[in-house]
Structure formats: C-alpha cells, structure tokens
Amino acid sequence: MLAKSNVFDLLGPIMVGPSSSHTAGAVRLGGMARKILGEKPVEGTIFLHGSFAKTGKGHGTDLALLAGLLGMLPDDERIPEAPKIAKERGLSVNYESVDLGGVHPNTVKFDLVGQSGGHVEVVGSSIGGGTIVIHKINDFEVEIRGDYPTLVILHQDLPGLVAQVTLLLATAHINIASMRVSREKKGAKALMVLETDQTIDQAVLALMRTLPRIEQAMAIEPL
C-alpha cells in the first residue's frame, strides 16, 4: 500500500529561498500562527530553536517567519522585503534564541499580540519539504498540519460538550477527519481540535459559540 502523500512530498514547494525547511516551512509556520491568533499581529517575539537559531538567518528563516506573519505565501517575491513591509504595516517583532527541549531542530515559538489585544503563544516545527506541524497553542498540546479546515475550541471540561460539538457539525453535514482533546485537568479548561473535510462557515461557527461553556471557537483555513 502506498503511503499518503501531498504535493510537497512529490515535488517540493514553490518558494523564494534556498531551503524548504528554513524558508517555505518557516513562511507556513508564520502564516499558521497568524491564523491561530485570528487577527492582524502588531507585536511579538519569535523564539528560534536548534537549527533555526544556528543557521536560520543565513537561510532567510527570520525573513520567512515574518513574511508568514504578514500573510505572505512561500512563493511571494516580497519575502526579502518583509522587515520593511512589517514596519509599514505596524508590526514590530523581536527575535531570540531559545532551547525548547527535545523537539525538532527546526522549531519556533511565537508570542504574538493582535491589533485588538488578543494574545497567543504557538509552537511549531518545519519538518521538511515545506511541511509543518503545530505542537502547542498556549499551554495545550495539539497536532495541526494546516492541510485541512481546522476547528479550534477552548472550553470548560464538561461531560457532553464534545458530543454537542460533533452533533452540530454532523447537522451541518461537516465530516470530521481527525479530533483531539487536551485539558489542564479534570473539570478545568480544555482545547478541542477538529480537522474536517468541509469548510466551516461562519454560521456554523456562530452556533458553536452559543454552546455552554465554550470560551473561544476559531476556524482555521488550510494553508
């Protein structure tokens, strides 16, 4: 049986820069962090781990991560101008080297603040060929690759809430491709991440937000 693959596995990404991991993957990581923040970022710190910290600047990783935060794609010819564009758009970013432990060498942590004051921390890795994995959103463990429409729900850990969410999606004819729930502890805050086969429209998202004890619900479109 052939393993499941995507266009990045077969051809490699169309990109600006010398390394798919350090440039194309880095742009996608920045783009995913922007999507998870859910608004235009205005300030933040980018913590570079491992290979990203040691050789990333020479490969343009710093420019690529910033370009992703600005909403650019890996083939955008403006990536080398990302610092100038960020300044024009009011985005201020600092870079720091950090040891994030036993993670992939091409790993980054974003600490971002949005234009309305929203805040998020996102940890993700570029694992080769432009493929990425988001490992953490704030204090919650996740696994998001950006290949499917993704629903992220912050909620209270209560019996029956997962069933209500899945029933609402089923009623809207949205099929769940994968699902993961993590929590701080029993009865505390929890994070539900669902990848779906169909786009999650705003009407479904609005209904989701009316369910009891849901604090935040966001729909992330695939990269």
pTM: 0.85
What is the topology classification, in CATH, of domain 150-220?
A: Alpha-Beta Plaits (3.30.70)
Residue carrying structure tokens 């004051």: 117
Q: Buried b vs exposed e over 180-192: b needs ≥16 C-beta within 10 Å? A: ebbeeeeeebbbb
Q: How confident is the model at residue 90 (pLDDT cuts 50, 70, 90)?
A: very high
Rounded CA separation 40/56 (Å): 24
Burial of 137 from C-beta contacts in 10 A (0-12 / 13-18 / 19+): buried
The ranges assigned to domains in the chain are 7-138, 150-220
pLDDT digits (tens, 9 = 90+) for 174-209: 999 999 999 888 889 999 999 999 999 999 999 999
- Mean pLDDT rounded to a whole number for the chain: 89
Classify domain 7-138 at the CATH class level: alpha beta
DSSP E strand boundaries for the chain? 41-49, 92-97, 106-114, 119-128, 131-137, 140-144, 150-156, 176-183, 189-196, 214-220
The secondary structure of residue 6, as a DSSP letter, is: -
72 and 79 Cβ atoms separated by less than 8 Å: yes
> What is the rounded distance in angstroms from the CA atom of residue 152 to the CA atom of residue 216?
8
Condensed to tens digits (0 to 9), the pLDDT of residues 111-134 reads 999 999 999 999 999 998 889 999
CA atoms within 13 Å, Cβ hemisphere of 39: 11
